Amino acid sequence: MEWTPRREDFDRYMLPVYAPLEAIPVSGQGSRVWDQDKREYIDFGGGIAVNALGYQHPALQRALEQQSRRLWHTSNVYTNEPALRLARTLVDSTFADKVFLASSGSEVNEAAFKLARRYAHEIHGEYKYEIVSFQRSFHGRSLFTVAVGGQAKYTHGFGPVPAGITHGQFNDMDSARSLINDNTCAIVVEPVQGEGGVLPADPAFLAELRRLADAHDALLIFDEIQTGVGRTGTLYAYMNYGVTPDILTSAKALGGGFPIGALLTTDAIARVFTPGTHGSTYGGNPLACAVAQAAVETINQPEVLAGVTQRAEQFHQALAAINARYNCFSQIRGRGLLIGAELTSELSGQSQWILAEAMRQGVMILLAGDNVLRLAPSLLIPENDIAEGLARLDRVLSQLK
Ligand SMILES: *Cc1c(COP(=O)(O)O)cnc(C)c1O
């Protein structure tokens, strides 16, 4: 008999960087998941905004199976067809002229920050290396990306961290103006701060960042790792905001559950990277690219994107009704199917209990920031699953005092 691991084996064998919940998911279909004990859950978390097409989507399965019978890996000594197809698809559907592929969000943000510094160095000179970021932002877990991220808890004890990074107040134009100057090489922002608490940028704030970047010859970087690939109801959130970045990073939903990241930029910026300046062993991996190609093609359809907005409406209405019953949220916000419900101050400190109790009631949710319930379900989640999952969430919140 094959050994069946259980939750306690996590503590026995794994580095304790996570504190996973008790249940171990073993299979999924659409927006439903089953654990080792055959308990069923409705998934409102989507593997942290990754499983944008739910579980076992036939287009993704087909892409993975077909590519698995051809070629898994080539190295970047050669290029490959799936990588080139994906790059062309991303270029054809966005502002970008060029794409860099890697295996995760952190990795493409790392590339974005290096690219911005290299660009400023080549075009303007050595003095221009400062990166302006914002408090509560999240850009990944490598040393450079935690330094650019706006949360001290992620850099604590890891210093010295890369220098030349400042953090303004998100959605505060005066704060941004006070930090951006001719030494700034890049401004980096999430159009909707995800980990920080599902905080959408004001359109005027992003427009002002664009203006400031232009005024100081700095590059504007949008980290769309969480907001990208349909999540907010457009292929990328910038399209709805009407503000175009110079560099955009994408991951999470891009692979629909297969690890991949993409950096998108223009020809003029891409030119400063030459063979050898940057790279990644798995970047452009044929399996990852074949799946991502299927994910992007499936999601970038008018009816799928319109469906995101319709489903978001259903969530917002039902959450407002829950709030009318229990008065548990101080604000319900977000863009498309990235939804945040901030708990009232009386309920602060209860979010971990809510997360665990939601599992007991059969619904998977996420947290963000200190006190925010975050939902990032499949973009295809059926109406019935939304209703049933919210009924389960209602049972959780009805128990709060
Ligand atoms: C998840 C996330 C990252 C990091 O991506 P990884 O794949 O975990 O490295 C970076 N930025 C944002 C906005 C994210 O949501």
- Tell me the sheet residues that pair with 43: 364
Atom number of ligand 1 nearest to Cα 261: 7
Tokens representing 7?
């939750």
For the CA of 48, the nearest atom of ligand 1: 1
Whether the model pTM is above 0.85: yes
- Tell how far CA 107 is from the center of its chain: 13
Residue 190, ligand 1, Cβ within 6 A: yes
In a structure prediction context, what are the per-residue pLDDT tens digits for the chain, which is 401 residues long? 799 999 999 999 999 999 999 999 999 999 999 999 999 999 999 999 999 999 999 999 999 999 999 999 999 999 999 999 999 999 999 999 999 999 999 999 999 999 999 999 999 999 999 999 999 999 999 999 999 998 999 999 999 999 999 999 999 999 999 999 999 999 999 999 999 999 999 999 999 999 999 999 999 999 999 999 999 999 999 999 999 999 999 999 999 999 999 999 999 999 999 999 999 999 999 999 999 999 999 999 999 999 999 999 999 999 999 999 999 999 999 999 999 999 999 998 999 999 999 999 999 999 998 899 999 999 999 999 999 999 999 999 999 97
CA distance 249 to 156: 25
Distance from residue 107's CA to the centre of ligand 1 (Å): 9
Pick the atom of ligand 1 nearest to 106's CA: 9
Relative to beta strand 32-35, strand 40-43 is antiparallel
Whether the CB-CB separation of 300 and 230 falls below 8 Å is answered with yes
Compute the distance between CA of residue 346 and CA of residue 302 in angstroms, rounded to an integer: 42
How many angstroms does the Cα of residue 103 sit away from the middle of ligand 1?
11
How far does the centroid of ligand 1 lie from the alpha carbon of residue 37, in Å? Answer: 31
Ligand 1 atom at shortest distance from the alpha carbon of 223: 13
Return the number of other C-beta atoms located less than 10 Å from residue 214's C-beta: 11
Alpha carbon of 165 to ligand 1 centroid (Å):
19
Q: Please indicate whether residue 102, judged by its CB atom, sits closer than 6 Å to ligand 1.
A: no
Q: Is 189 helix (H, G, I), strand (E, B) or coil?
A: strand
List beta partners, residue 33. 28, 41
Of the residues 138, 229, 254, 367, which should be mutated to test ligand 1's pocket, given the most ligand atoms within 8 Å of the CB? 138
Q: Is 105 in the pocket of ligand 1 (CB under 6 A)?
A: yes
pLDDT of residue 10: 98
End-to-end CA distance of the chain: 47
Neighbours of 4 (CB within 10 A): 9
Could you tell me the two tokens for 33?
């998941």
> Distance between CA atoms of 231 and 379, rounded to whole angstroms?
7
* Cα–Cα distance list, 90 to 99, 164, 285, 295 (Å): 8, 31, 16, 12
CB 170 within 8 A of CB 135: yes
**Eight-state DSSP code of residue 195:** T
* Residue 224 Cβ < 6 Å to ligand 1: no
Element (H, E) at 303: helix 302-326
Beta strand segments in 190-305, E: 192-193, 199-200, 219-223, 247-250, 261-265
Place of tokens 């991303």: 90
What's the gap in Å between 395 CA and the centre of ligand 1?
31
pLDDT computed for residue 1 by the predictor: 75
| Ligand 1 center to 163 CA (angstroms) | 21
Altogether, the residues listed in the chain come to a count of: 401
What integer pLDDT is reported at residue 401 of this predicted model? 73
Strand partners, 343: 329
Task: Confirm or reject: Cβ of 223 under 6 Å from ligand 1.
Answer: yes
The closest-lying atom of ligand 1 relative to the alpha carbon of residue 141 is 9
